[in-house]
Amino acid sequence: MTNLLTVTSLTKTYDAAQTPALSNVTFGLDEGKSLAVLGPSGCGKSTLLRLIAGLETPDGGEAAMNGESLNGVPPHRRGFGLMHQDLALFPHLNVRDNIAFGLRSQRWDAEGIQRRVNELLELMRIEPLADRSVDAISGGEQQRVALARSLAPRPRLLMLDEPLGALDRRLREELAQEIRRIRDHEGVTLIYVTHDHDEAFAVADDILVLEGGRAVQHGPPEDVWLKPATPFVARFLGHENLFPCEVSTTEDGANEARCALGTWQPIDVPTSQACTALIPPEAITIVEPNQNGAEATIEDVTLQGGSYDVTLNIRGEKLRARVLVGATSTRPNPNTTVSVSIDWNQVRLLDWVE
């Protein structure tokens, strides 16, 4: 299967800037799939979208659709949709006319416009709002109208730039799921820009992580989560228990991994002897002192959702654990001494050292 969109060595330095906003970015995207472009503010996400949309000209490299370069093709001839966080709905038009806007400028006939707008009102579950002014609907509803408007002309590629950034957490989760449903219904190919990894994971088939204008990892969400390619990606995803690790072969030929917190026989062996051990919070169990396990002091406890986020200190090493509320009869207490056991089978070895 060939990619619908191919981006090759795309590079951009803005006038007067010292460093490139985007540097040598390469990836492919298959038809009907969604890619989340993930990274902190200023890493080049919007620049990438603007280059693909044709709103900026690259200094090097290209984006191509079905193998044909887009260099020199003006934005309106690319057949792409782009939706920004600020939505830019037309306040003087009602919901229906906002959705119809792009179809009118593309000179669709009146019957075609009506059919497509009705279809989108139904798809986005906003039929009762059709004749309302866009000023008289909620933020989440405005988001749906903006999405319907970008989908209306059936773009070959739809790009969403931090589309849910302004909404509260519950609405963001709900709309992220909706975007998946709508993508499947419309079969549209999607690029979704966000700094929120939960949102990226909820929406995307593939994730492209940018750091300082460079693509540092590209792959399915599960791979990015389980095997972050760099320390930056690991920390950006919220992984905290990262320890330098050495893998060696014992006299009887077994592999042995050793980090500051223990020695174990790893299942997967990285390519280099020196690596990093990632200990997921779920792998850590806190037990009463003097039971089998390493002695630790509880430094801090915060309640997050349904679990306690516990910071432990083991021989000077910090370790974050998660304890389900209800799993212990009492709240873990700072400054108390406990024993900690680690399920080494859940520990992952990553191919880099900080």
Report the interface residues with ligand ADP, using CB under 6 A: 14, 17, 21, 39, 41-47
Q: Which residue lies nearer to ligand ADP by CB, 212 or 262? A: 212
Residue 55 or 324 with smaller CB distance to ligand ADP: 55
Closer to ligand ADP by CB, 50 or 227: give it: 50
Closest to 285 (Cα-Cα) out of 312, 314, 323 = 323
Q: How far is the CB of 341 from ligand ADP (least distance, A)?
A: 41
Closest distance to ligand ADP from the beta carbon of 237 (Å): 16
Q: Which of 163, 160, 149, 199 is nearest to 52 (CA)?
A: 160
Q: Least Å distance between CB 233 and ligand ADP? A: 15
Cα–chain center distance at 183: 17
Tokens of 1: 């299967």
Nearest to 25 by CA among 6, 41, 8: 8
- The first and second tokens of residue 130, run together, are 């059709």
User: 3-state DSSP call for residue 98?
Assistant: helix
Report in angstroms how near the CB of residue 41 gets to ligand ADP at its nearest: 4
Q: Which is nearer to ligand ADP, 82 or 312 (CB)?
A: 82
**Distance between the two ends of the chain, CA-based, in angstroms?**
37
- Give min distance, CB of 138 to ligand ADP, in A: 26
Q: Which residue, 63 or 113, is less far from ligand ADP as judged by CB?
A: 63
| Cα 183 from Cα 82, distance rounded (Å) | 14
The CB-of-84 to ligand ADP minimum distance in angstroms stands at 11
State the Rg of the chain over Cα.
25
Element (H, E) at 35: strand 34-38
Q: Which is nearer to ligand ADP, 43 or 188 (CB)?
A: 43
